[in-house]
Amino acid sequence: MGVVCRHGLCNKSPSAWMPGSVPKMGSSTGASPSPSLRAGIAALIGLVVGLSGHTAQAQEWDIGSALIVGVGGAYTAAADESGVLWFNPALIALAEERGGFGLSYRRQYDLDELGEADASARYRAMRGLTVAAGFARFGESGLYQETRGIAALAEGLEEKWAFGAGLRYQRVEFGDGDMAFAGVSLDLGVAGRPVKNTTAGVSVRRITLDHLYAKAEQEPGSVVEASVAWSAPPDIVIAGVWSKQSDDDHSLGLGQRLRIASGAEFVSGLRFDPIRYTLGGRLTHRGGTIDYVYQSHPDLGGTHTIGIGWQW
């Protein structure tokens, strides 16, 4: 199956990253799966992760808020979302509201072991200066689990341009922690509104600061990404995103938001390599939001994501 990747961290195939001996389960109880069952589930998770993220950066667009997932990762279409800090830390300084937070949960390919929860928040501490933080966890402890965290700082200039930086931490564990690796990296971004009704951003993510990926077969490379959105207020937003990790590893996404009634939006997106579509909706009331998004996959079926948020 080759290299298995998810969110930029790569390791060997499932049979290679399972420890040589079965992880200790403690005292045997009827509620605990047998070692052979755990090994089988872990191998299945590795297979699914490998199929769903055959390139490192192409899989990263499904983190962040449900709305960003819904527009195919074209994050400038959701510039006011706190979850945008995962993609371009500069955009947190261009949000109209002073603060906001978001929570989302997704169950990938209808597997409990592939559930993922994300949380993020941002706050404009003083004129032009905005801080934000995010946390995400994927998988199931004792089988395969990823933990990610990010803290970002951005400075806005005359509400038109902004520059930002984020410090990112990621840890991956296999089994009961018998095999794990982690790393710290830096994200840099610039964003702005160069012309009326247009938002654009460019970022470089995962600039490696240390080399803690000792047990990974290869270190994840940095991702260069550009996104632009055009809006016709208040009814429609159209956006695109282009990502590149290496000469032969790039991805394209398109997305749109369409207001269909007061406080209600239809959201859709399209991602290439492989071709995947997203469909969903958003309800808004007094700064609060509720989102639902469905993601397709050509081999593994659908993923359902729900999210809530509040802007003030």
The string of pLDDT tens digits covering residues 212-237 is: 544 445 555 789 999 999 999 889 99
> Which pLDDT score, from 0 to 100, does residue 22 have?
29
Predicted confidence (pLDDT) at residue 23 exceeds the cutoff of 50: no
| Cα gap 255→198, rounded to integer Å | 14
- Percent of residues, the chain, with pLDDT higher than 70: 75
| Cα gap 43→37, rounded to integer Å | 10
| pLDDT tier at 35, thresholds 50, 70, 90 | low
Across the range 106-112, mean pLDDT stands at: 77
Q: Where are the domains of the chain?
A: 32-311
**CATH 3.40.50.1860 given to domain 32-311:** no
| pLDDT tier at 113, thresholds 50, 70, 90 | low
Q: Which residues pair with 242 in a beta bridge?
A: 226, 252
For the ranges 54-58, 78-82, 178-182, 200-204, the one whose mean pLDDT is highest: 200-204
Sign of CA dihedral 194, 196, 198, 199: positive
Across the range 28-46, mean pLDDT stands at: 50
